[in-house]
Amino acid sequence: MSLDTAPPWEDVHNYVGGDWQEPSEEGQAIVNPATDEEVSYVGFSSEEDVDAAVKAGQEAFEQWSSTPVEDRIQPLFNFKQLLEEHQDELATILVKEHGKTMGEARGELRRGIENVEVACGIPTMMQGGHLPNAAPSIDETAVRKPLGVFTAITPFNFPGMIPLWFLPYAVATGNAFILKPSEQDPVVAQRMFELIDEAGFPDGVVQLINGSVDTVNTLLDHDGIQGASFVGSTPVAKTIYERAAANGKRVQAQGGAKNHVIVAESADLDFAAKKTVSSACACGGERCLANDVVVVDESIYDEFVDRVVEEAKSQTVGYGLDEGTDIGALITPEHESRVREMIESGIDQGAELLLDGRDIEVEGYENGNFLAPTVFGNVDTDMTIVREEIFGPVLGLLPVANIDEAIDVMNRSDFGNAASLFTSSGADARKVRHQADVGNLGVNAGTAAPMAFFHFGGRKDSFFGDLHAQGEDMIHFYTDKQIYIERWPDA
């Protein structure tokens, strides 16, 4: 069954056992962050709703786990094709409920589709190992087996991509999967599930459950769930990790971030300024890979500051569907107020306000949650804007004497999601590569986003668990390694 997603959208539905269902409990409105118009409504799922999905998943798992692997990947190939055919329609929905630009929405969907492509390689990726003559007359074999029903709880900032860090791998390995998307922008997930419905997965293999905190807790406490993936803020990631582990489940929980970019003396300053502003401000700064603490060698500090301010000034803030928009709207008025408070804290704590984006008005969208790029100079490591995640288009420049001091500043952070270095010195690059305490590191790359065939890193308060999202780590997370030991003494 297909729902009409042309505006005005119907309410968001659950997809359980191959059917669309209304979540049982009251939920919240979905509001376009640029226009302040209500675009949809999402109800929240009760314990009974969750239980029905888990049971449908368990039922589906019995057949699906023993379905030949070649047959398991056919619906994924269909899904990839459908995602590509509907990419612009999905991107439009995403812009309307999230606020980012059309280009960013298309890009995020492309990164999601890459994960579907990688998971189609499961016949090779899932193979185990075999060793003849492991001991006298004994051969040993390791196989990977799916485990049952998994869930993923995902954040608002990449509602089209992040579900695909998990879903394709979970089902390709033979598991059943339940997505609980962010309640702030769940419409794009619903449209993806309409495509899933077309792609030919057996009922119950892939399911969608909407809700908020209570729904998540019900999923984490349910005996029928084998494991949980989480992406979101650090305090919630910690809670999820502890609760799922206490319930004996596999768990991987990626949290928030505070990322640094180091600009060394030998860097190409024009290129570095362009990439630095884009890293900090793209998607309105609502990215876990945003590098917003800019650690600059003091010998080029003044020159670099000028270029960053010029680049930041050149950004066009507006509605994501309008041509020429570089930076869209922030997710909610509450989040916009929080970012404004962070800017206030920077001023109060003595940072130099070089560019103030607070007065922005976007003609025709007076009720939107807009902020223009805001640049601080001479920040230090005690300031809130340097220690805490801002999640808005705000960056701070911090002068240092040399590369060693830059590494020290970066590694003092509680977070370890990502960092970038701009340099033309191999020695700088090697030093940073060896010493950086971060999970994703870019050299002369502004945003260290790994391709789908590599895992998405993260350390310290940015990640709780051991196996990460994407790529080979997902195969390990979604399977159990069983050993066969065979002795045939007469052979």
Where does this chain bind ligand NAD (CB under 6 A)? Answer: 153-158, 180, 182-183, 212-213, 216, 231-233, 236, 239, 254-257, 288, 389, 391, 417, 456, 458, 462
Give φ, ψ of 279 to 5 degrees. -60, -45
- Pick between residue 49 and residue 428 the one whose CB is nearest to ligand NAD: 49
Nearest-approach distance from CB 211 to ligand NAD, in angstroms: 7
Nearest-approach distance from CB 53 to ligand NAD, in angstroms: 15
288: annotated active-site residue: yes
- How far is it, in rounded angstroms, from Cα 232 to Cα 368? 24
Nearest-approach distance from CB 102 to ligand NAD, in angstroms: 20
- Pick between residue 174 and residue 256 the one whose CB is nearest to ligand NAD: 256
Within 8 A by CB and 6+ apart from 240, the residues are: 153, 216, 220, 228, 230, 232, 251, 253, 464
Nearest-approach distance from CB 335 to ligand NAD, in angstroms: 8
β partners of residue 374: 394
Nearest-approach distance from CB 365 to ligand NAD, in angstroms: 23
Nearest-approach distance from CB 109 to ligand NAD, in angstroms: 15
- How far is it, in rounded angstroms, from Cα 439 to Cα 193? 31
- Pick between residue 111 and residue 275 the one whose CB is nearest to ligand NAD: 111
- Pick between residue 153 and residue 329 the one whose CB is nearest to ligand NAD: 153
- The closest residue (CB) to ligand NAD is 232
**Beta strand 176-180 pairing with 149-153:** parallel
Nearest-approach distance from CB 37 to ligand NAD, in angstroms: 21
- Pick between residue 104 and residue 428 the one whose CB is nearest to ligand NAD: 104
- How far is it, in rounded angstroms, from Cα 58 to Cα 303? 61
- Pick between residue 155 and residue 377 the one whose CB is nearest to ligand NAD: 155
- Pick between residue 216 and residue 295 the one whose CB is nearest to ligand NAD: 216
* Catalytic residue, candidates 120, 281, 283, 288: 288
The catalytic residue positions are 288
